[in-house]
Chain A
Amino acid sequence: MDDLRYEAPGTLEAAVALLAGEEGDARVLAGGTDVLVLLHADMIEPDLLVDIKNIPELTGITQENGGWRVGAATICMDIADHEEFSAAWPGIIDSVKLIGSVQVKGRASIGGNLANASPGADTVPAIMAAGATASIFGPQGQREVPVEDIAIGPGETSLAKGEIIVSFFFPQRPAHSGGAYLRFTPRTEMDIAVVGVGIDLTLDDRGTCLAARVALGAVAARALMVDEAAAVLVGTPIDDAALANLAAAASAACRPIDDKRGTKEFRIKVAGVLARRTALIALGRAKQS
């Protein structure tokens, strides 16, 4: 008995009409690296899959107002291979390169990673630290929201029925800006973050931190923006004292669970260690830019 239907519309309007009009469970299909695993494990039983990859707005990387617009279903391989975007947003590339294998990166996307709402999603702290916004299209039209407002808990998002993440906007970079993402995993490849840290920094001409954004993954039910950790960097040259404060603030923000990948205590400690290391990479990149 096969009652699962598949549609691959070519426009946003058609996709939203299908998703909003479905009485049963309708799912967006982008790269399928999460949805198809859940489907075949019988963990979801959708009635309709709406493949959004034929919609032009969903894929591609283009310059816009001095920043970059990245289609939500753009595959990770295309993002990592994009030289100009990679130069502007190396922290995003750090995270994109850590997603699965080459084969998985050939299908997986940032939009899918965010919409899947895993607390350990690698690209999510990176795009949060970058200050990216998501363009969302739905039955009520289009809205632009900070990416940190989308995932609200494991597998749960703030998206309304029928809404699709269309694209991400990464704003124009001030001079002396740099970002980085690091995660801790037992293996170097093909693993899921025990802790992930995204940090983005902007310095003045003398190397003093003008602005900072710090985001943590896998240490709470959703990725966290940690304003307290960013605040201890601003106004400093990001010296040892500031880095120690950053580590303490990052650890203090964690609300982790014990699971097979790590204990609460371990995650809290590693969040501080990784925040320090991530900040040093971001600092080096900011000084070079």
Chain B
Amino acid sequence: MARNHITTTINGDEYEFLCDTEQTLLDCLRDELFLTGTKEGCASGDCGACNVMLDGQLVCSCLVLGVEADGKSMETIEGMAHGEELHPLQQKFLELNGLQCGICTPGILIAAKALLERDPDPTETEIRYWLAGNLCRCTGYDKVVRSVQAAAEEMRKG
């Protein structure tokens, strides 16, 4: 059977790819488009490592089919830095050790960015609840939360 022909916008650029119906958006990003910044953790919507923004909504790309991306607009971790200039979240995660092995980090950064766009000054409790769907087995979360708080403060200063 013919594969599905998908046209989609990722980080402002138009992409086309072919995929099988079963293929998740995560697999399409990684295996068809070689955008490997988005990671696979659980592949069942529990861990958040595969988070992307799909038409402005934070989603697990493992719980979206590639065919559903046709005509839609996405933001992935590859679009977060502007060339050499890191996003404040990325900068603070580096400075404050908000990551160790790094597999969860792209998803956490995408999720945290979505939170700060919605609420530039979240409480610690709000940050922890918002990131409840992003599992990290290295940091114990505290440095993640401190990094998000520091980035939020920097972004509020403009």
> Do the beta carbons of B21 and A4 come within 8 Å of each other?
yes
Residues of A within 8 A of B24 (CB): 36, 40
- CA A41 to CA B46, docked complex, whole Å: 14
- CA A39 to CA B22, docked complex, whole Å: 8
Task: Answer whether residue B63 sits at the interface, using C-beta atoms and an 8 A cutoff.
Answer: yes
Picked from B4, B21, B59, the residue with its CB within 8 Å of the CB of A103 is B59
Name B2's closest neighbour in chain A (CB-CB): A2
> Do the beta carbons of B22 and A77 come within 8 Å of each other?
no
Residues of A within 8 A of B64 (CB): 32, 36, 107
Task: Answer whether residue A33 sits at the interface, using C-beta atoms and an 8 A cutoff.
Answer: yes
Query: Please, could you name 16 A-B residue pairs with CB atoms under 8 Å apart, sorted by A?
Result: A3-B1, A4-B21, A4-B22, A8-B68, A29-B68, A32-B63, A36-B24, A36-B62, A36-B65, A40-B22, A41-B44, A77-B57, A101-B45, A102-B132, A103-B45, A107-B59
Residues of A within 8 A of B59 (CB): 103, 106-107
Task: Answer whether residue B43 sits at the interface, using C-beta atoms and an 8 A cutoff.
Answer: yes
Task: Answer whether residue B120 sits at the interface, using C-beta atoms and an 8 A cutoff.
Answer: no
Known contacts A36-B24, A40-B43, A49-B21; is A6 also within 8 Å of B65 by CB? yes
Given contacts A5-B21, A32-B64, A107-B59, 5 further A-B contacts (CB under 8 A): A2-B21, A41-B44, A100-B45, A101-B133, A103-B133
- B-side residues, CB < 8 A to A, are 1, 3-4, 20-22, 24, 43-46, 48, 51, 54, 57-60, 62-65, 67-68, 111, 114, 129-130, 132-134
- CA A82 to CA B124, docked complex, whole Å: 24
> Do the beta carbons of B129 and A189 come within 8 Å of each other?
yes
Residues of B within 8 A of A77 (CB): 57
Residues of B within 8 A of A40 (CB): 22, 24, 43-44
Residue interface mask A57-99, B partner, CB < 8 A = 1: 0000000000000000001010000000000000000000000
- A-side residues, CB < 8 A to B, are 2-6, 8, 29, 31-33, 36-37, 39-41, 49, 51, 75, 77, 100-104, 106-107, 189-190
Picked from B20, B21, B63, the residue with its CB within 8 Å of the CB of A104 is B63
Name A189's closest neighbour in chain B (CB-CB): B132
For the complex of A and B, list the 9 residue pairs with the smallest distance between their C-beta atoms, beginning with the closest.
A101-B133, A189-B132, A2-B20, A106-B57, A4-B21, A6-B21, A6-B67, A103-B60, A103-B133
- CA A36 to CA B63, docked complex, whole Å: 6
The interface centre, meaning the residue of A4, A6, A102 with most chain B CB atoms within 10 A of its CB, is A102
> Do the beta carbons of B133 and A190 come within 8 Å of each other?
yes
Picked from B4, B43, B68, B132, the residue with its CB within 8 Å of the CB of A101 is B132
**B86 smallest CB distance to A (angstroms):** 23
Picked from A2, A103, A107, the residue with its CB within 8 Å of the CB of B111 is A103
- CA A233 to CA B114, docked complex, whole Å: 44
- CA A33 to CA B63, docked complex, whole Å: 6
Name A3's closest neighbour in chain B (CB-CB): B1
Name B19's closest neighbour in chain A (CB-CB): A2
Name A101's closest neighbour in chain B (CB-CB): B133
Residues of A within 8 A of B62 (CB): 36
Name A5's closest neighbour in chain B (CB-CB): B21
- CA A58 to CA B8, docked complex, whole Å: 23
Known contacts A6-B67, A103-B60; is A190 also within 8 Å of B132 by CB? yes
- CA A190 to CA B46, docked complex, whole Å: 8
- CA A49 to CA B58, docked complex, whole Å: 23
> Do the beta carbons of A102 and B133 come within 8 Å of each other?
yes
**B152 smallest CB distance to A (angstroms):** 16
> Do the beta carbons of B68 and A37 come within 8 Å of each other?
no
Residues of B within 8 A of A101 (CB): 45, 48, 132-134
- CA A162 to CA B129, docked complex, whole Å: 39
Residues of A within 8 A of B4 (CB): 6
- CA A66 to CA B54, docked complex, whole Å: 34
- CA A33 to CA B57, docked complex, whole Å: 15
Residues of B within 8 A of A107 (CB): 57, 59-60, 63-64
